[in-house]
Chains A and B, each alone.
Chain A
Amino acid sequence: MLILTCPNCGVVADETDLHGGGEAHITRFGADASEGDFESYLFHKKNPRGVHFERWRHVYGCGKWFHAARDTVTLEVFGTYSAQTLTPPKALQNKIKKKRPDWEGFKK
């Protein structure tokens, strides 16, 4: 069971109070993009073993979106942060690097 703290309302929310929104920080290619870019935006999602960044919505609670960083193997949650950012906060990246020295680092 995953428990994430919603940074918008502060509730420590059970996974069943939330709705998963898939991989975070993806580039949204529009109608004028190349077929390859549009295909990769739609279908080619990261599915790492380890550190992962995701979008979540506090759907049964405050209704707002946020980001979460977690380990897909251990389910350890490194942190949650605002939806209004294009990259994970530096402090959070440093924290993850400390806990997972082998982590390749955040890549867009």
Chain B
Amino acid sequence: MSDAVSVLGGAAFSGAIEVADAGLCGMVTLRGDLSDPKLAAAVKSAVGLTMPAARGIKEGTKGAVAWMSPDELLLMVPHETADACVARLDKALAGSHFLAVNVSDARAVFTLTGAGCREVLAKGAPVDLSAAGLPIGEIRRTRLGQIAVAFWAGSETEMRVICFRSVGAHVYSWLCNAAQKGTLPGFL
């Protein structure tokens, strides 16, 4: 059994906000017919949550579920349970047209902590990052600089950013640079 490690082994930076490698996060991509009650039941049994609305993200005690596109969800579970989550979905959805894949190790996750997280992301994403533009409970897929990312606010002082692992080190240094002390515009 290989020893799983996150992209930057828990690196952390402190500036205008805190930027940190979120460590190992279990992630399962689920594609299928999101209006199918069978799929909703499978999601409920996997993470204990009901279906999110378009662009929505729900977080609970067993995990989280995010709406990624009209036929795609992202389930977030503890890293060591991601394979079991896929097996559970495979069983629950057998016979349907669907796809469940453990993508945990293809991704990197960063946490941003502090009052300025929205401003740090606003430096590189073409998104209205005000609390009205990206409310809590909504996830946004977009770009940060030239890199595809997804991010959401869990609260007004904590946000999470997901990107591909191959660009994880770049995104981390981008975030640290954007979070240098004294560089937040104070616009939001």
Q: Does B55 contact A (CB under 8 A)?
A: yes
Residues of A within 8 A of B55 (CB): 9-11
Residues of A within 8 A of B15 (CB): none
Report the Cα distance A14→B141, complex, angstroms: 12
Report the Cα distance A13→B54, complex, angstroms: 15
How far does the Cβ of B31 sit from chain A's closest Cβ, in whole Å? 11
Give the interface residue-count category, chain B. Answer: 10 to 19
**B70 pairs with A61, CB closer than 8 A:** no
Instruction: Tell me the interface secondary structure of chain B in the complex.
Output: strand
B53: nearest chain-A partner, CB-CB:
A10
B69: nearest chain-A partner, CB-CB:
A62
B140: nearest chain-A partner, CB-CB:
A11
Report the Cα distance A30→B37, complex, angstroms: 40
**A17 pairs with B70, CB closer than 8 A:** no
Instruction: Tell me the interface secondary structure of chain A in the complex.
Output: loop
Q: Does A89 contact B (CB under 8 A)?
A: no
Residues of B within 8 A of A63 (CB): 69
Residues of B within 8 A of A16 (CB): 126, 143
Q: Does A5 contact B (CB under 8 A)?
A: no
Residues of B within 8 A of A9 (CB): 54-55, 69-70
Q: Does B45 contact A (CB under 8 A)?
A: no
List A residues 1-51 near B (Cβ within 8 Å): 8-14, 16-17
Residue of B70, B126, B142 touching A64 (CB-CB under 8 A)? B70
Question: Chain B: residues with CB nearer than 8 A to chain A?
Answer: 54-55, 68-70, 72, 126-128, 140-143, 148
Known: A61-B141, A62-B69, A62-B72; 20 extra A-B contacts, CB below 8 A, are: A8-B69, A9-B54, A9-B70, A11-B55, A11-B140, A12-B128, A14-B126, A16-B126, A17-B126, A17-B142, A60-B141, A60-B142, A60-B148, A61-B69, A61-B140, A62-B68, A62-B70, A63-B69, A64-B69, A64-B70
Question: Chain A: residues with CB nearer than 8 A to chain B?
Answer: 8-14, 16-17, 60-64
